[in-house]
Structure 1
Amino acid sequence: MDDYDVSFYFLDITVTNTSTLIEGNTTIQATALFPLDTFAFELIPEMVISQIFVNGTEYTGFYHEGNNVLVPVDEIAAGNTVTAQIFYSGTPPTGSFFVGVDHAHNNNYNMDVTWSLSEPFAASDWFPVKQDLEDKADSCWVFLTTASDNMAGSQGLLTDVVDLGNGFTRYEWKSSYPIDYYLISFAVSDYQDYSIYAHPEAMGGDSMLVQNFIYNTPQCLEDKKPSIDETPGMIELLSDLYILYPFSNEKYGHCLTELGGGMEHQTMTTLGGFWFGLVAHELGHMWFGDNVTCATWSDILINEGFATYSDYLCRYNLVSETEGNSFMSSKQSSAMGQTGGSVYIPIDEIYPGNEWRIFSGRLSYDKGAAIIHTLRHEIQDDNLFFDVMGTFQTEYGLSTATGEDFKNTAEEVTGLDFDQFFDQWYYGEGYPIYDLVWYSAGGEFHLSSTQTTSSSTPFFDMLLDIKLFFTDFTDTIITVHQTDNLNEFTVYTGKEVAVVQVDPNNWTM
């Protein structure tokens, strides 16, 4: 599959809210990078293929190799367009979290719902696909036919709703933004559409759609509306801190399902509820995960670490500083709950069946967010830190990036060297442990700082804040630079120190 570049996915499928059955066709449009005599894609054997057309010609000699489908074709020259249309049907397997399609019943509202979840390796459970993070399609259409008492949500704009006259309706969704394979989705239920609008400052008074498909009962709207109504404020905040919401020409939205958590499907998050932190986290993914997607699963920091940090920013700015600080403290404590494991994921730890290593709450989410917070402190300038975030979005937007790419952007914007920072915090394991001995005499504060570490990383070169409480009941914060396992510091204060507090604002673990 490395011999072609995907430009467009068009899913035209029939779905139901009562099972995971799917039938229909998917069109993959691509450009041949080399001469092609075989067109390959991924689709699990449980999905039965009835016909395959490539550039208008039907080919019947296709065959499976595991989840790969190979189609011998008349040679296609490099640079030429390949249009493959695959007709298929089947019931994707269920029974675990990482399955492509799932179905459930909500007892509270008496609703059936079916939804997709393709991350990281399960898009091929329900549509023909090339599962390559670095090969984003330029655009996608998702046409969903379902019983007329249902509604079905997906990416981009709902361009038409077609009554087919046979008790079925087709919802035609079109998105013109580049999209990674696992961010294509659907959800179907007896929904109602509760739409509101956000007004990011960068839109100059214009508005953008926030479209929410929730269960079609008055009680559901009454229950969910207060939380949903917090979403525009989050969009406006993150648009100010990063860059304008990346898909503002289309929408942001939610499809309510029975998913245990949320999934940042591009422009239309799938989630199981509307609690503040979940909505903030999944929204943060629109910048980090969707606009800029991790180039490899090893670099899941780009997705989950930054989405968790977006949750922190929303709590700190929209709820209270106390709430934000408490949240960050909990992430740091979680990260220190064990000593092993790095935020960067070694390639040999990434494979089907080991998905929870990618989505480790402690490492990918919590420690990821914690080291971003520490990096912010290392920069020592909030405006510069958010310039890094915005520049990264601009440089790698609608594409993919690695942790190294983020490091390079941070170095370009700040002029600082972050090699050591990434070696110890991103690729390394554990955290620093400090033993401080101090005394105050003659208007000077003397500090002996000994650093050991919890794991294999031998040393953490870092800035450390020390809050000094003086005998006259005033206080100040000094920042020292730990450059070795043992450092001695002397600071002139002009007064006597009574008490010290290490890292008073929880910048680091």
Structure 2
Amino acid sequence: MRLRTRAGLGAVTTGMATVLLAATATAAPAPGAAGAGDPYYPFAGNGGYDVAHYDVRLTYQPATDQLSGTTTILATTTQELSSFDLDFGLAVREIRVNNVNATFRTVREGELEVTPAKPLAGNQPVTVVVTYADTPSTVTIDGHTAWKKTPDGALAVDEPQNAQWWYPSSDHPTDKASYDISVEVPDDVAALSNGTLVRKTKNRAGWTRWNWRSTQPQNTYATTLEVGKFEVNEATTPSGQPFVTAYDPTTGDSLGAARASVERTPEIIEFLASQFGEYPFEAQGGVVSTGLSFALEAQTRPVYSDKFFVSGTNTSVVAHENAHQWFGDSVSLGRWSDIWLNEGFASYAEYLWSEHQGEGTAAELAQYVYDSYPADDAFWQVLPGDPGAANQFDDAVYDRGALAVQALRTEVGDEAFFTILRTWVAEHRGDDARISDFVALAEQVSGKPLQQLFQTWLFTAGKPSTGPNGTTALRAAAQPKSYPAIQRTHQQLAAGESR
């Protein structure tokens, strides 16, 4: 750079000062948003930072339901932060930000505001360490608890939230991270979580520490913890992946049926991969418990209520929850109103599995469901494309959602249909997306206008006059054909919801 005269330098200096002052004025540190902007759950997730990794290190005593430990959060700021929020409901002892004590306060149930000793610069790594201890089963947020105390342990299994009862987080599916989950429990119980069991260690008499690692992006509600006197089996799948299953021995007469269903997980995943593309994760498995009434798509290791197996084997629910590994876990919803992207496709996977097993084709099962609900049934008033928070897990989201998938298949044909599914999971792997993104992709791949089809099946109240296979509804006097796979699934859903 050429030298300037003193007067010129003075002018330049003045100009630079003006620019710097303006920049400082417009980029002053500000609080991070208290939520991720989800209309259903305004305070779910947090703004101002993106989490890359959670290290959750806990000790849990089932006898007293005492949980204590630390969670270390590795994140990157997305703005200059004077403070930021964490979604968490337990009693906190200390929070350090970049190794310096921070102040914190509860601003509402399940929401902590953290103020670092000095503001955080934008686009910089930040380390947050939260130390805490509490009795999770006594903590309620918005009138309920997602922590399920059992006679010999506890379950941190629920949707749309469960993290707030055992580790602080940015609790929304759009903020994914990798995980290390380390839980010390008494020797006579197991501590199960997601991913790969890295090791078990004993550091003191009577206690064992279970260390789990999830290397692929994982959303918070798909992160789970199950503590209890489970029978734990460790094996390797034919593809070489770790395969860990666990069964509550108090399942009783249904234990054999549960094992006969869940132990087929690698076979079911192999089939689903032939439909959707490569399995997106590093491990497989499942947990069966008497401590809950639904099933949940915990990443790599779904959790099932024993109630799903009271009438015998039920591989439909195993197909459903493992389909979520693609639709919901690998490709997560962008907003909770997009729940159809999870449940519609997981329910349709049951149809595909039924066809593969020779128990009724996808088209037959879809027609059966369509004909089973009269036009005046309240079922047709729930909109799978935007059901509202109160109806997020309504039957219509699952069943009508699956009918929408069959209607798409009928309209575009098998070649385009399966290309759409495989392209969707490949393009959005490890990320999140919206229903509008799926519609755009379906139109792009098929070359057909599909807005009206999706409007009819996802966003319009009332029974569509044309069924999912392009045929009109059965006459009122007609009786739909009975399909055991569909009946079995719905009988089980009456006792335990498959999420």
State the match for 1:236 in structure 2: 270
Q: Is the 8 A contact 1:10 1:141 kept in 2?
A: yes
Tell me how far 1:114 sits from its aligned partner.
1.4
Question: Aligned letter for 1:340?
Answer: Q
State the match for 2:203 in structure 1: 164
Unmatched 5+ stretches in structure 2: 1-45, 484-499
Q: State whether structure 2 residue 160 is matched by structure 1 residue 120.
A: yes
Distance in 2 separating the partners of 1:430 and 1:368: 14
**Residues 10 and 372 of structure 1: is their aligned pair in 2 closer, same or farther, counting only changes over 3 Å?**
same
Q: 1:21 aligns with which of 41, 66, 77?
A: 66
Question: Aligned letter for 2:274?
Answer: D
> Helix, strand or coil: the match of 1:320?
coil
Which structure shows the higher helix fraction?
A: 2
Count of residue pairs brought into register by the alignment: 421
State the match for 2:48 in structure 1: 3
**Cα-to-partner distance string for 1:191-233 (whole Å, 9 max, x where unaligned):** 222245544xxxxxx3333310113589786453322233222
State the match for 2:383 in structure 1: 342
Which structure shows the higher strand fraction?
A: 1
Q: Is the 8 A contact 1:255 1:268 kept in 2?
A: no
State the match for 1:86 in structure 2: 130
Q: Is the 8 A contact 1:198 1:233 kept in 2?
A: no
Q: Is the 8 A contact 1:156 1:174 kept in 2?
A: yes
Q: How does 1:166-205 map to 2 (within 5 A)?
A: 166-199=205-238
User: Which has the higher mean CA deviation after the structures are superposed, 118-127 or 309-318?
Assistant: 118-127
Q: State whether structure 2 residue 110 is matched by structure 1 residue 71.
A: no
Aligned-CA RMSD value: 3.0
TM-score by length of 1: 0.76
Q: How does 1:325-404 map to 2 (within 5 A)?
A: 325-326=364-365, 329-330=368-369, 333-334=372-373, 337-338=377-378, 339-345=380-386, 349-350=388-389, 354=390, 357-361=391-395, 363-379=396-412, 381-404=413-436
Unmatched 5+ stretches in structure 1: 106-111, 200-205, 435-459, 468-500
> Helix, strand or coil: the match of 1:212?
strand
> Helix, strand or coil: the match of 1:75?
coil
Q: Is the 8 A contact 2:243 2:283 kept in 1?
A: no
**Cα-to-partner distance string for 1:445-500 (whole Å, 9 max, x where unaligned):** xxxxxxxxxxxxxxx9x973489xxxxxxxxxxxxxxxxxxxxxxxxxxxxxxxxx
Q: Is the 8 A contact 1:332 1:367 kept in 2?
A: no
Q: 1:299 aligns with which of 338, 353, 377?
A: 338
Distance in 2 separating the partners of 1:332 and 1:141: 47
**Residues 48 and 305 of structure 1: is their aligned pair in 2 closer, same or farther, counting only changes over 3 Å?**
same
Tell me how far 1:119 sits from its aligned partner.
1.6
Q: Is the 8 A contact 1:19 1:103 kept in 2?
A: no
> Helix, strand or coil: the match of 1:343?
coil
Q: Is the 8 A contact 2:265 2:285 kept in 1?
A: no
State the match for 2:441 in structure 1: 409
**Residues 161 and 270 of structure 1: is their aligned pair in 2 closer, same or farther, counting only changes over 3 Å?**
same
> Helix, strand or coil: the match of 1:7?
strand
**Residues 334 and 365 of structure 1: is their aligned pair in 2 closer, same or farther, counting only changes over 3 Å?**
farther
State the match for 1:443 in structure 2: none
Q: 1:41 aligns with which of 78, 86, 95?
A: 86
Distance in 2 separating the partners of 1:331 and 1:58: 59
Q: Is the 8 A contact 1:335 1:366 kept in 2?
A: no
> Which protein has greater RCO, CA pairs closer than 8 Å, 6+ apart?
2
**Residues 418 and 84 of structure 1: is their aligned pair in 2 closer, same or farther, counting only changes over 3 Å?**
same
Distance in 1 separating the partners of 2:469 and 2:315: 32
Tell me how far 1:187 sits from its aligned partner.
0.2
Q: How does 1:440-459 map to 2 (within 5 A)?
A: none
State the match for 1:53 in structure 2: 96
Distance in 2 separating the partners of 1:328 and 1:162: 53
Q: State whether structure 2 residue 242 is matched by structure 1 residue 209.
A: yes
Distance in 2 separating the partners of 1:463 and 1:304: 20
Q: 1:227 aligns with which of 261, 266, 276?
A: 261
**Cα-to-partner distance string for 1:38-89 (whole Å, 9 max, x where unaligned):** 1321112xx2111111111122x31110022112111111111111111111
Distance in 1 separating the partners of 2:422 and 2:436: 16
